[in-house]
A and B are shown apart, each in its own frame.
Chain A
Amino acid sequence: MRRLSAMWPCFGRALRRLHQRHSKVIAKAVCAHSSSRAFTDRCYDGLYPGHISTTPIQKALLAVGSGVAALQDPYRHDMVAVLGETTGHLALINLRNRMRNDPEGYTILIERPRIRLSTLDLSKMASLPDGSFGKEYLRFLEDNHVTPDSRVDVKFVDDEELAYVMQRYREVHDLLHTLLGMPTNMLGEVAVKWFEAAQTGLPMCALGAVLGPLRLNTRRLQKLVTSLGPWALKNGRQARCVLSIFYERRWEQSLEDLRQELNIEPPPLMLSASNKSSS
């Protein structure tokens, strides 16, 4: 009986501490958010525009939730993006170090180029000869009806430089399609994911590489397993870090030349964008 009565003050103190901690969290949120600056779209809290700071528990919940949502509906690119951000911390550090050790990669980290329609000179690229990297990239965008502006912004990476690395990885994805000669249908995407998984080590890519083939029909699965897959893995391992290339300054370079420089073999199978039926 005496022990019980001694417990209650301790319990009360613990409750009070918990309540104080929560009030501090909320008070901190109040201090962080309340500002008398006029709101514009450009002003932001956090380390970079669009950054949302999250606790480790929140990141874990986001990873699980976004994983489930992405599996249910693979067209939810924002969920794939969130999965990549919440699970890719170590892989991003690894990528950033590889970029730092490469002279061209280091330049990219300093200059921070962004691949957007507004930064591309489309008319100049269209006037380039066939077989040049810029021309082939433009052809890829037209054939597959995609645009470089559809990439989701990074939100949950808690380091400004790593957030840029993540953003660069997303923007380079389309260029990878061009380099590897893969269209944006399911088989092409899975092949690119296998390459990316081998190159970057991002868990999201690995997950996509494992679960993507489940949505392929037998004929395509056979193509993947017998020729495309092994080629993608081998080249992913042996190729130079694809994030370390300053693509914006290499539009005039021939595609074959660029592939050789990056140590990427041409694809064993030619897939056309017209193979865009659902698997």
Chain B
Amino acid sequence: MRVRPVKMAASVRQWARRVIRLSHTNITGASGGLSVRFDRCSAGSYCRCFGDAAEGKQTHFGFETVPEAEKAKRVYKVFENVAQKYDVMNDAMSLGIHRLWKDKLLHVMCPQPGARLLDVAGGTGDIAFRFLEYIRFQQERQRRRETRAVETPSWQELSTNYSTEDEDGPRESKAVVCDINKEMLKVGKQKADSMGLVSGLSWVVGDAEELPFDDEQFDIYTIAFGIRNVTRIDQALQEARRVLKPGGRFMCLEFSKVTNPVLASLYDAYSFQMIPILGEVIAGDWKSYQYLVESIRKFPDQERFKEMIEDAGFYCVQYHNLTGGVVALHSGFKL
């Protein structure tokens, strides 16, 4: 029996289309049912290696490839080990520049009194503390302006001011620090106590991929140097969008790609040669800091991360490069 030429042509076309689709499959796209194995994830591009269904999905832990379920555990262990020396190490590794990066984040954020902040992976509380101090500074400045504007208040006006101050005051700004790691939160709490920052601050244990908050609770969501440790970044971005109010802002500080080749070589040499040594000498832990340096190389670059934020449903996504691209500040709005 001869197969009709038209049918044969159609089936050949179908087969050809499948082959082309398979060869063009983007490994970053979600594709159910396909098992594509990659032995080497190229440093610098975000890639997820799909294993067979029996093995479970694989992801990267620094330059290693591990099952997804394993990564969260190992990241937890890393931060449990480094929590006590985290701030000291940050100062040593970045020569204090990390403070400038965080200051820049606050400067771009420009929070107004009454704003509610959620700082995810906020661990030792650096962003939350800066937020509260910024708000307090703004409130002080506002109060000073108000008192200067009223030249000679009458006794009547003064008495009404005093009586309405407590009832009708501006909404209290609140900062919530959320971190998956209890040790990091412990260190943050101790810092807050020693600085005398108690009011307007709360500490919550939670997973960035599954936040323990209701929808539309916060005005600003920040995640500073934490998102590269999350197993499923797209899920974290979706959660961020969920808990933000309409008009809310998503801000992310993260290590990124250095564009200048000279600076890139110096940065790589410093990262791989020097930082694990600092980790060993100061914190007694080479491997954790080796992981931290490797995880920076596995994180997507500025443009790719911007696309991921846009895919999660944020608008007006922008990024600023700090220190020549060593750190990038990404920002997007939920509209």
Seen from chain A, the residues whose Cβ lies within 8 Å of a Cβ on chain B are: 15, 18-19, 22, 25-27, 29-36, 38-39, 52, 55, 57-58, 61-62, 65-66, 68-69, 76, 78-79, 82, 155
Contact = CB atoms under 8 A, between A and B. Distances in A.
Contact of B284 (A62, A68, A78): A78
B277 A65 contact: yes
Contact of B66 (A27, A31, A39): A39
A127 B306 CA distance: 71
A241 B31 CA distance: 65
A155 B287 CA distance: 11
B311 interface: no
A36 B281 contact: no
Contact of B281 (A22, A34, A66): A66
Interface string B52-67: 0000001011111111
12 contacts: A22-B268, A27-B43, A29-B272, A30-B63, A32-B63, A33-B62, A33-B64, A34-B40, A36-B65, A39-B64, A39-B70, A39-B74
A103 to B, nearest CB: 38
Of listed B39, B277, B284, residue having the most chain A CB within 10 A: B277
Contacts of B286: 52, 155
Interface string B260-299: 0110110011001110111011101011000000100100
B51 interface: yes
Chain A interface mostly: helix
Contacts, number: 83
B269 A62 contact: no
B272 A33 contact: no
A55 B276 CA distance: 12
B58 to A, nearest CB: 7
Interface of B: 39-43, 49, 51, 58, 60-67, 70, 74, 261-262, 264-265, 268-269, 272-274, 276-278, 280-282, 284, 286-287, 294, 297
Contact of B64 (A27, A34, A69): A34
Nearest to A50: B287
A154 to B, nearest CB: 13
Nearest to A60: B277
Nearest to A62: B277
Nearest to B63: A33
A35 B281 contact: no
Nearest to B62: A33
Contact of A30 (B43, B274, B278): B43
Contacts of B269: 22
A76 to B, nearest CB: 8
Given A26-B297, A39-B66, A57 B272 contact: no
Contacts of B264: 19
A25 B280 contact: no
Nearest to A68: B281
Contacts of B66: 38-39
Nearest to B274: A61
Contacts of B261: 15, 19
